[in-house]
Structures are given as C-alpha cells and as structure tokens.
Amino acid sequence: MTISPALPVALPMLAAAAIAGVRRWLSRAVVDAVAILTAATNLVMCALLLTRSWDAPIVYWFGNWFPRGRMVLGVGFVIDPVGAGLATLAALLMLLALIYSSSAMESGDNHYQPLMLVFLAAMSGFVLTGDLFNLFVFFELMSTAAFALCGLKVEEPAPLQGAFNFAVTNTVGAFFTLTGLAFVYAATGALNMAQIGSLLGSRHDTLVIGGYLFLITGFLIKSAAVPFHFWLADAHAVSPTPVCVLFSGIMVELGLFAILRVTNTMFRASMGPPHTALRDVLLTVGAVSAVWGGAMCFAEHHLKRLLAFSTISHAGAMMMALAVNTPAAIAGWLVYLFAHAMAKSGLFFTAGILLHRLRTMSEPLLFARGTKLRFTAALWLLGGCALAGLPPFAISLGEELTSSATKHSDASVVLMAAFLLSGTLTAAAVFRVFMRVFCGWGDHGPADRSAEVDELPEMHEQNRVIPARMFVPALLCVLFGTVPFLLPQAVSWSGVAAARMLDQQAYIRVVYGQARSAVAQSSLAADVWSALLHSLLAVACGAALAAAAVFHKAVPRRLRWASHMEGSMVWMRSLQSGHAGDYVVWTMAGFSLLGTALFLLR
C-alpha cells in the first residue's frame, strides 16, 4: 500500500479544522470518535512509512521541486526509520490519550480534540521534515498547541499560570532556535539539512559553533535539560492527564531527537571527532539532569509533579546516549526512549485514575485511601519497576546498550552511575507513593506546599466509579513496554535504525537522488544478564530508599537520611519559584555556560 508522506501531517490538520468548524452541531461521542479514528489512521500510515523507509529513506518533494545539481530548490520530507518510528510512537500515544479522555475528561467548548490533532500533526511534521526552517515551523506549531492544551482549564488560575510559564520559557527557546537558523543560513545560504551538511563539511569556525549553540539551546529547553527544565513541572501539574502523557511520553523526547538530527545531518563533520567539546558538554548536562531530576522527584509529593521530575531525570539519562553518539549508544537511546514513553504514560494514566476516583493528586491527602484500588495499585507498582528497568521492561536494556559503547572510555563510570541514580531515585519516589497510598504504611509524610495546591477533577460528575475502559490505555502501556525486551529482533532493528541515522553521507546522497547504500546489518546484542543485575540493584536500592522514608520513625534519628532527603531539599525546591522571569534568568545562565564550554573546549 502506497500513501503520500504528507498525509500524517495533512490528515490531523484537516480533521482538526473540520471538528472545530462543526463541533457545535455534533455530540461529544461523535467528536471523540472522529478524533480517535484520525489518530488510529495516522498510526497505521506512520507504521506503513516505517516499513517503507527500512530499505532506504523516503524523499518526498512538495510540488515536485527536485534538486538541480547541488542546489535544493524545494521543501521536502526525508523519512528514515528513526523519524518514522517516532511519528508512529506519537500517533500511538495520541490514540491512547484520546481513548482515555473520551471516558475520563470533560472537553466542553475548549477545542480539546482539535488542539490534540494539531499537536499530532506538528509532532509528525517535526520528525519527518528534511528542511531546517520547516523544523522550526513545526517546533513552533507543536509549542503553540501545547501551550493551549496546558491552559485548557481557563476557569482556574493555576493552569493559566502554568501555561504562561511554559509559553514564556519555550518562546525564548524558539528565539534561540530561530537565531541559530539565521547563523546557519548566513554560513551556507541553504535551509535544506542535507545541503547544509554538504556545504559545511568540516568547517569549525565561530559562525558555525555559534549557530549550533543557538540551535541546541532551543532544543535543550524543549527537552527540559537542567537548567532549562523549570517549566516542565509547572506545566505537568496543571495539564489534563492525557496532555501530561504526551508531554512526558513524546514531546520532551522530540527535543532530544532534534539535537540528534541537526548534529548528525548538518554538523557531524564540523562538531564531531576530533572535536570532543560537544560530547563532554552533553555528557555533563545529561548527568546533572539525571541526578537533579531524580533528587527533585524523590522530594516531591504532588503526583504529577513527581512524575514530571522523573521525566527530567530520564531525559538526562537519554541525553548521555546522544553525547556518546555511536550506533550502539543511539540504539540504546531508541530502546530507552520507547520503554520510558510506555512506563511514564502508564504512570500518568494511573495517576489520572486516582484523580478521577479520589479527587486529589496530593500524596499526603491520598494516604491510605487507595487500599481498595488493587488493580490501580498493581499498575502503579509495575510503573515503578519499569522506571528502574526491571525485566521484562526495557529501560535497563537501553542502558546496557549505551554503556557497552563506552566500556573502554572514561565516560563509562559516569554513565553507569547516572543511570543507577536516575533509576533508583525515580523508582523510589513511585514505590514510596505505593507504600503510603495503596498500602497505608507509615504516615502522611512531610509537609509539602506544592502538594497542598490541589486541582479540580477532570470529570465534574458525582459518580466516581472508574469505567473499565479507563484502565485500557494504562494496561496497554504496560504490555507495550515489554516488547523490546521480549522481541529478540528489537535490539538489531534499533542498531540498523541508529546506523542509518548516523550516516551523514548516505543521507546527503539520498536527498540528491544519488545511489542509495545497501541496508546496514546490525550485529548488536545486549548483555541481558548485565541489564538484569543493574535493574535488580536499582529496584533494591529504590525499594530500600522508599521504605526508609516511609518507616522513618523506626530508624535511629541519626540514620534518617532518607526522610531528610525527602523533606529538607529546601534550597533546590526554592529555585522552582513559579515565576517566569526567574526561569528566563536560569535559561540565559545555562546558555552562557553552554556557550562558554563549547568555545573554550573547541
């Protein structure tokens, strides 16, 4: 079956416009059905593009404006397995989110379904385009839809404040990205990424480094890397549950994808070896994000904010794989990304079930109220195990693949330590919630101002019975999260996709219509036993840390380090002020440090 590569963008946009135009005459059930059908169709189309792009990337020129010689005249999509795979993942998460919201969320007259479909179209275009300016356009379209979805509950002040902080910081990121685009255009006179890569070659001057610095700063803001991360927890705390699924499950990861795309398509020769500044900078940012996000996650008691800080931690771990930037490391990143998306989405869906049934996201207020919600408890516990990478969940498999790429380098110890701390701290926070909320162990926990700020339920009906279909998305996320571990070919497929992503010259040849290289065969194999031992250690440490916090009264006072860690990170939490101006200051400080490092280590 042959489909136009433009359809994954065009179809959701057309459906969004149609729904927005006639929704006043349609019932809620019809609107939901159209949105779900559109997302399902997009999922099928993106999966077909994934299979078609496996032998060679698909190049689609809009209006048949083909290159003339070395000059690219038109705008095109260049679809490789990584881009098509991420588009498929975005469509899958959108489908699950729309299924969940059809039974667990009131959309009213706020254009929820059209905004979700615009968000899907933007994400699809973002990963499929081969044009740098269109990458920015889809970046902005994705951000605009996300701002509106975050502030969907306009009757409450908190969503408006969260959306404002989100919009301000990410608009600054868009400014950085557009400035970087201008630098690159000044250096090359081109906007097509393949043409830019061909023209830049190994050029490593101030203009090129400056352009790259501005570009990746914008994408680091979107990927919530420390110190560009402050917007994420504020946005998650006030967004509807299905929107949180998309923010943590795919949007943050698309920021990492953009770094990978521009680095390997445009700057691989100019910023890659022998220039090691980029690797060192991204390793440092990733390690700091992994540890900082994990520590803040353990100190948080608002469930959505807790999961948001977990996303920051795991995004930092994934960034370290991008820093290594070898086929094995990128294959590990792909496995990690998919496994994390499923684990985090399942946890957010489960948190939404708690909000629907118990009307709060505060861990202290939920204490011992979930003891009868056994299936919900099982889903939450499985999510914690997935974050720690316990097989058959595949995060540990991605970590092992990435670590194997650095066995003979100094980065190996840093990677392993960051992976362990990220898995331990985030799993410990989830396990602690399980012990207090679903088991009723210990006490309410320390006072937490962020947990005291409660939110209205997403359904205003008085019937708090949980519909069976609310469990379907969470259960599917748990099942899908085991696929990379249980499917023997998953690692080798990831290796093939990674090798194609890193082959800059093959990408350039395909865009210019030259001979296509044969499909690379991957001999990658993960050490399953090493992954198992690593995950067991993370689960054991996480469970011990959670138990030490929950049963702190049974621990001698001088040994109550877990409870102190949970409740006394005042200086770290004070930085999360909720003021957009403070966040912009931290963004500028991070940009300055990043630029200083790149230029000093050049």
pLDDT in tens, 42-94: 999 999 999 999 888 899 999 888 888 788 888 999 999 999 999 999 999 99
Angle between helices 112-128 and 252-265 (to 10 degrees): 20
Full domain range(s) for residue 357 = 276-452+481-552
Checking if the pLDDT of 516 tops 70, the result is no
Q: Is the dihedral of CA 36, 42, 43, 48 positive or negative?
A: positive
Two tokens, residue 383: 């999510």
pLDDT band at 118 (very low <50, low <70, confident <90, very high): very high
pLDDT band at 529 (very low <50, low <70, confident <90, very high): confident
The DSSP string of 140-199 is HHHHHHHHHHHT--TTSHHHHHHHHHHHHHHHHHHHHHHHHHHHHHHHHS--BHHHHHHH
Two tokens, residue 227: 């110190």
3-state secondary structure of 55: coil
- With respect to residue 540, please indicate whether it lies within any of the assigned structural domains: yes
CA pair distance 245, 223, nearest whole angstrom: 15
Provide, rounded to the nearest whole percent, the portion of the chain with pLDDT above 70.
90
Cα torsion through 97, 239, 321, 522, rounded to 10: 10
Cα torsion through 377, 378, 379, 383, rounded to 10: 100
pLDDT at position 427 is 96
The distance in angstroms from the start CA to the end CA of the chain is 49
Report pLDDT digits (tens) over 234-284.
Answer: 999 999 999 999 999 999 999 999 999 999 999 988 876 656 778 889 999
Compute the average pLDDT of residues 510-534: 72
pLDDT at position 565 is 65
| pTM, 2 dp | 0.94
Compute the average pLDDT of residues 384-392: 92
Compute the average pLDDT of residues 95-110: 79
pLDDT at position 150 is 92
pLDDT at position 574 is 77
Please name which of 143, 109, 125 lies closest in space to residue 13, comparing C-alpha atoms.
125
The DSSP string of 67-130 is -BTTB--S-EEEE-HHHHHHHHHHHHHHHHHHHHHHHH---TTS-HHHHHHHHHHHHHHHHHB-
pLDDT at position 457 is 63
110 vs 214, higher pLDDT: 214
Compute the average pLDDT of residues 538-556: 85
pLDDT band at 408 (very low <50, low <70, confident <90, very high): confident
- With respect to residue 491, please indicate whether it lies within any of the assigned structural domains: yes
Checking if the pLDDT of 518 tops 80, the result is no
458 vs 68, higher pLDDT: 68
Please name which of 538, 505, 535 lies closest in space to residue 520, comparing C-alpha atoms.
505
Q: Kindly state the DSSP code that residue 476 receives in the 8-state scheme.
A: H
pLDDT at position 273 is 64
Please name which of 194, 178, 297 lies closest in space to residue 186, comparing C-alpha atoms.
178
CA pair distance 131, 593, nearest whole angstrom: 29
pLDDT band at 25 (very low <50, low <70, confident <90, very high): confident
Checking if the pLDDT of 362 tops 70, the result is yes
Please name which of 274, 258, 175 lies closest in space to residue 216, comparing C-alpha atoms.
258
- With respect to residue 353, please indicate whether it lies within any of the assigned structural domains: yes
CA distances 549 to 433, 441, 491, 554, 559, Å, are 11, 11, 37, 10, 11
Checking if the pLDDT of 594 tops 90, the result is yes
Please name which of 257, 274, 267, 282 lies closest in space to residue 337, comparing C-alpha atoms.
257
Tell me if 181 sits within 8 A of 216, measured CB to CB.
Answer: no
CA pair distance 10, 77, nearest whole angstrom: 13
CA pair distance 34, 36, nearest whole angstrom: 6
- With respect to residue 1, please indicate whether it lies within any of the assigned structural domains: no
Half-sphere exposure of 208 (CA within 13 A, CB side): 20
Angle between helices 132-150 and 252-265 (to 10 degrees): 170
CA pair distance 79, 46, nearest whole angstrom: 10
- With respect to residue 382, please indicate whether it lies within any of the assigned structural domains: yes
456 vs 8, higher pLDDT: 8
Tell me if 511 sits within 8 A of 190, measured CB to CB.
Answer: no
Two tokens, residue 186: 């000044």
Compute the average pLDDT of residues 160-172: 93
Tell me if 344 sits within 8 A of 309, measured CB to CB.
Answer: no
Residue that is written with structure tokens 């098509």 in the block: 84
Sequence-ordered strand ranges (E) for 444-528? none
Cα torsion through 465, 467, 468, 473, rounded to 10: -120
Angle between helices 411-433 and 277-299 (to 10 degrees): 20
Worst-scoring range by mean pLDDT, 27-31, 168-172, 309-313, 426-430? 27-31
Checking if the pLDDT of 482 tops 90, the result is yes
The DSSP string of 259-281 is HHHHHHHTSHHHHSTT--HHHHH
Q: Kindly state the DSSP code that residue 569 receives in the 8-state scheme.
A: -
Tell me if 215 sits within 8 A of 262, measured CB to CB.
Answer: yes
- With respect to residue 436, please indicate whether it lies within any of the assigned structural domains: yes
Report pLDDT digits (tens) over 550-562.
Answer: 887 766 665 566 6
Instruction: Compute φ and ψ for 181, nearest 5 degrees.
Output: -60, -40
Tell me if 448 sits within 8 A of 300, measured CB to CB.
Answer: yes
Two tokens, residue 502: 């890193």
As for how many domains the chain has, the answer is 1
Two tokens, residue 65: 């404006």
pLDDT band at 540 (very low <50, low <70, confident <90, very high): very high
pLDDT at position 146 is 96
pLDDT band at 132 (very low <50, low <70, confident <90, very high): very high
CA pair distance 245, 251, nearest whole angstrom: 9
Provide, rounded to the nearest whole percent, the portion of the chain with pLDDT above 90.
59
- With respect to residue 124, please indicate whether it lies within any of the assigned structural domains: no
pLDDT band at 164 (very low <50, low <70, confident <90, very high): very high
Two tokens, residue 593: 């440090």
pLDDT at position 459 is 61
pLDDT at position 204 is 82
535 vs 36, higher pLDDT: 36
- With respect to residue 287, please indicate whether it lies within any of the assigned structural domains: yes
Compute the average pLDDT of residues 208-213: 93
Mean confidence (pLDDT) of the chain: 88
Cα torsion through 578, 166, 361, 546, rounded to 10: -80
pLDDT at position 531 is 81
Checking if the pLDDT of 567 tops 70, the result is no
Tell me if 155 sits within 8 A of 109, measured CB to CB.
Answer: no
pLDDT at position 274 is 56
CB within 8 Å of 57: residues ≥ 6 apart: 78, 79, 80, 500, 507, 510
Instruction: Compute φ and ψ for 79, nearest 5 degrees.
Output: -105, 115
The DSSP string of 412-466 is HHHHHHHHHHHHHHHHHHHHHHIIIIIS--S-S-S--HHHHS----S---S----
pLDDT at position 110 is 63
